[in-house]
Structure 1
């Protein structure tokens, strides 16, 4: 498969996967009451965290594999490990939470039942990426979209979150079977090595830490806000962020395909200018999309989110500001991962925790609207910190270049004098 076709297939696959998530949440919001969608949102956010952990621990390490035989073994091992681990975790969730009172506990128990299906199906995307077959991932994810949306839409209005979660999870089974059918001929006969996933030093362990401090912390904090303070707040926040799903597609595409393209740009100055332009462009798109959503009539908004629209509409300015800041931060992260990959983790740790604190403080001051603005403030400060780090790297490299030039000046001068002398007396002997 050619490079251009592979990139197009990969971008299309990310778009299909993101579109599936957006439509699932929109359909669930339309079918549910505000309280029901809050529970569904909390459970779906827990799934998002578990998916992120799986992708970090298995998927991100998998795509770094090289060599035909190593890749075949790694892919078969990754799918097997994901299936086994998700089954153990899912059965534990289902068995432990089935006897706990409350709709959230029952929703999480339902998630446990379908967890092996949804995690294994998603994990195959990274196998196809490693095997350089992104169009196979696109086929499987298109089947996922084509089955999930009608299955959910066929449910009656007012369906409980447990029922919606089970239908959503089981609807991934056809995509799982299609993906397995496409993958099997590529990995048939390859050995399975599950021990490498539990060995000390497995790359996935570092990636999980980065995911935990970068994304999972704030997501789990929102879940905690729903469990211990205001369940309806989670539905409102999730409804607002669902409307910004197209922005997430752009961010994911920039993160996935930015580094190889940015490495083609010469010099640190050229790289910084390129990502600065990207930052302005993405933040401009976020502002424009926020304006479109804010001008949306209530009638159309209710068609999208049902009863949740009333609460989510008031959060659009705060969420729009947050996504504009995320655009600035995403571009800065992209720059640092090319220039100085190890520089991102400390900033992620500090400002992800700060975002959680700002969210909780904002909620105490002004309810869910304050929480939304708190998340936006955290994203803004993270973006500022990342760009200040980049400016520091620019100054450091410029100073190093100037010092190097100063050190070389006497040598060049001496070489020039020697050259002139040689011209005057080409044969001094």
Structure 2
């Protein structure tokens, strides 16, 4: 019953992303309720730095991993990915902790603590992509459920007025049980597979291209927001982050498509069928974003304050812009998923041009109309990028794949060397 199996895999993957996104929402909501608006801004900046580091790891390791095909190759790639992620996170985290331990200021202290817990949180999150490549999303769901069940009471037990550094430490340490559970579920499936950490350092590793795309597509905008907080208006970071938190359910769907879409889309026969499937997905996600925006705008003020505390007022003013942005992101995510399967190397030029344009729009919007203008600037950038990606899909459908892309596809589709 392959159809039933695929349906269950989709449900498990969406449920896993829902649990993961809900965990992130709880972390931010609890931090907002325990902190003043100023303190939450500091925590938001630290958490955004983690988001950038997480995105780099997902791009370099995770996105290349889910494109692997063939049982033996997938198992070896999964084991290598875990070892590489743990080692790289330890090196980066130690550098952060050592370099910022004696620097004054709440932000520096929070980042130093983030460095200490970085190996735990990055490795735990990275297991999700291993389970995606192995087509075992229910294992990811189990580990992430443990994460949720541990982090909620741990953060809720913190006193009112807890500092950002303390909250970051509790959040990071609470990932240990989930890491143990995920590792225990993964180990029997990869214990006999070879480890090739050096593959991540070789020239031509596809993750390098995805990192460049992330750097210009996601990190550039996030770093621009961080810079906005450091050099202009710290409260703007809290407002933008609060608005993003409110759209957590949409992030669930986007992350599900990104993490689990390539293996599932690879089963669809024919280029036209793949494009139609993702086009329908993009339209459905865009309308979902619009509907969710309406729901948020109709929330009573006292409910919003229960969610975000003092940050609610500034975040609520951004809902029209943020909702429009998420509709654009929905169309762009589905287009990006299509190109990742059809032509992995086709997305970089578009990502570079339109992501840098988004940063320009963000900063120009802030100068024209403060944080509300910045939110509309991000919306404009997302809409233009989505349009460019779908236009690229049209040209890809008409042209044959380059030899490099065909060779990569053949390598990733290498026949299985044994049972999974």
Separation in 1, partners of 2:396, 2:133 = 32
Change in Cα spacing, 1:29 to 1:6, as seen in structure 2 (3 Å) is same
Q: Deviations over 1:252-296 (max 9, x none)?
A: 23344555448737563x655554443333222212211111111
Change in Cα spacing, 1:8 to 1:155, as seen in structure 2 (3 Å) is same
Q: Which of residues 130, 135, 141 is equivalent to 1:132? A: 135
Change in Cα spacing, 1:68 to 1:255, as seen in structure 2 (3 Å) is closer
Q: Which of residues 52, 65, 80 is equivalent to 1:49? A: 52
Q: Which of residues 84, 102, 106 is equivalent to 2:105? A: 102
Q: Does 1:168 align with 2:171?
A: yes
Change in Cα spacing, 1:77 to 1:103, as seen in structure 2 (3 Å) is same
Conserved 8 A contact 1:239-1:309: yes
Change in Cα spacing, 1:159 to 1:213, as seen in structure 2 (3 Å) is same
Separation in 2, partners of 1:146, 1:257 = 23
Tell me which of the two structures has the higher relative contact order, counting C-alpha pairs closer than 8 angstroms and 6 or more residues apart.
2
Q: Which of residues 224, 228, 233 is equivalent to 2:227? A: 224
Conserved 8 A contact 1:263-1:338: no
CA drift of 1:46 comes to: 0.8
Q: Deviations over 1:124-170 (max 9, x none)?
A: 22222333332222111110000011111111121111111000000
CA drift of 1:76 comes to: 2.6
Q: Does 1:155 align with 2:158?
A: yes
Aligned pair count reads 395
Separation in 2, partners of 1:154, 1:318 = 35
CA drift of 1:307 comes to: 0.9
Change in Cα spacing, 1:336 to 1:203, as seen in structure 2 (3 Å) is closer
Change in Cα spacing, 1:96 to 1:258, as seen in structure 2 (3 Å) is closer
Q: Which consecutive unaligned segments of at least 5 residues does structure 2 have?
A: 400-420
Q: Does 1:5 align with 2:8?
A: yes
Change in Cα spacing, 1:97 to 1:190, as seen in structure 2 (3 Å) is same
Task: Give TM-score scaled by structure 2 length.
Answer: 0.87
Separation in 1, partners of 2:108, 2:281 = 42
CA drift of 1:341 comes to: 4.0
Q: Does 1:244 align with 2:275?
A: no
Separation in 2, partners of 1:338, 1:67 = 16
Q: Does 1:28 align with 2:41?
A: no
Separation in 1, partners of 2:270, 2:193 = 41
Conserved 8 A contact 2:325-2:379: yes
Change in Cα spacing, 1:193 to 1:263, as seen in structure 2 (3 Å) is closer
Conserved 8 A contact 1:94-1:111: yes
Q: Does 1:194 align with 2:203?
A: no
Change in Cα spacing, 1:296 to 1:13, as seen in structure 2 (3 Å) is same
Paired position in structure 2 for 1:363: 366
Cα RMSD over matched residues?
Answer: 2.3
Q: Deviations over 1:305-351 (max 9, x none)?
A: 01111111111111111112222222333344455443322111100
Separation in 2, partners of 1:367, 1:12 = 37
Separation in 2, partners of 1:383, 1:120 = 31
Question: Tell me, what secondary structure is at the counterpart of 1:99?
Answer: coil
Separation in 2, partners of 1:221, 1:4 = 39
Paired position in structure 1 for 2:418: none
CA drift of 1:63 comes to: 3.0
Paired position in structure 2 for 1:324: 327
Separation in 1, partners of 2:223, 2:44 = 12
Paired position in structure 2 for 1:418: none
Q: Which of residues 77, 80, 90 is equivalent to 2:83? A: 80
Change in Cα spacing, 1:341 to 1:192, as seen in structure 2 (3 Å) is closer
Change in Cα spacing, 1:341 to 1:63, as seen in structure 2 (3 Å) is closer
CA drift of 1:176 comes to: 1.0
Change in Cα spacing, 1:283 to 1:165, as seen in structure 2 (3 Å) is same
Separation in 2, partners of 1:85, 1:387 = 35
Task: Give TM-score scaled by structure 1 length.
Answer: 0.85
Q: Which moved more, 1:317-326 or 1:236-245?
A: 317-326
Question: Tell me, what secondary structure is at the counterpart of 2:58?
Answer: helix
Conserved 8 A contact 2:27-2:155: yes
CA drift of 1:389 comes to: 3.4
Q: Which of residues 144, 148, 151 is equivalent to 2:147? A: 144
Conserved 8 A contact 1:26-1:305: yes
Q: Deviations over 1:28-54 (max 9, x none)?
A: 111111111111111111111111111
Separation in 2, partners of 1:81, 1:190 = 15
Conserved 8 A contact 1:237-1:312: yes
Q: Which of residues 209, 213, 218 is equivalent to 1:210? A: 213
